[in-house]
Amino acid sequence: MTNVDWVLTWSMVQAVFTALMAIAIAVTAFFAVKQLREAARARHAEVLSRIHEILGDPEVVAARQIVKSLPQNFEIESLNDQQRSAVELVTRSFDRVGFYLWCKLISEDLVLPEYPGALWHWQKLEHYVKRQREAEGYEARCFFEYMASRTREYRQKQGLPL
């Protein structure tokens, strides 16, 4: 074997190892992407489960029924303690879910069709929240408002009644 033959052989070996390294990197990247997608699905499932816990809690469901029965543009001063607690619980619950949506921890397409009540409850409680903001001087329940506005847009896009 001459010097030239050895150099050509060494070049071939380097080319084979380079090709093997490229294949190994591609396979690793494929599995990394697959694992990231699975992690995102798991996160969505966890957040969706948490949303169901929040809005499906029997106490929250009962509070939503109480709020639903209140007259439009009610005065907070005219409510009894149970009604006031219901208003607070509903606004806090939708605010928490709205925060998940605002942070994009879950797709709106998974939540908004299932909870159109965010819009209906916002329409009933908007004046209450705005009075609360004026009194307390901050953006109280802004994520509830965000969820209601996204629900409105979703329902309009789908041609559903508001």
Which is more confident, 139 or 21? 21
Give the residue with greater pLDDT, 115 vs 4: 115
Query: How far is it, in rounded angstroms, from Cα 55 to Cα 93?
Result: 7
Q: Are 128 and 75 in contact (CB under 8 A)?
A: no
Residue 2: per-residue pLDDT:
55
Model confidence at 151: pLDDT above 90? yes
Contact, 149 vs 156, CB < 8 A?
Answer: no
Tens of pLDDT along 24-66?
Answer: 898 898 888 889 888 888 887 888 889 989 999 999 999 999 9
Confidence band, pLDDT 50/70/90 cuts, at residue 21: very high
pLDDT at 92 > cutoff 90: yes
Distances (CA, A) of 162 to 67, 90, 120, 136: 18, 19, 8, 30
Q: What is the mean pLDDT of the chain?
A: 87
Report the share of the chain in percent with pLDDT over 90: 43
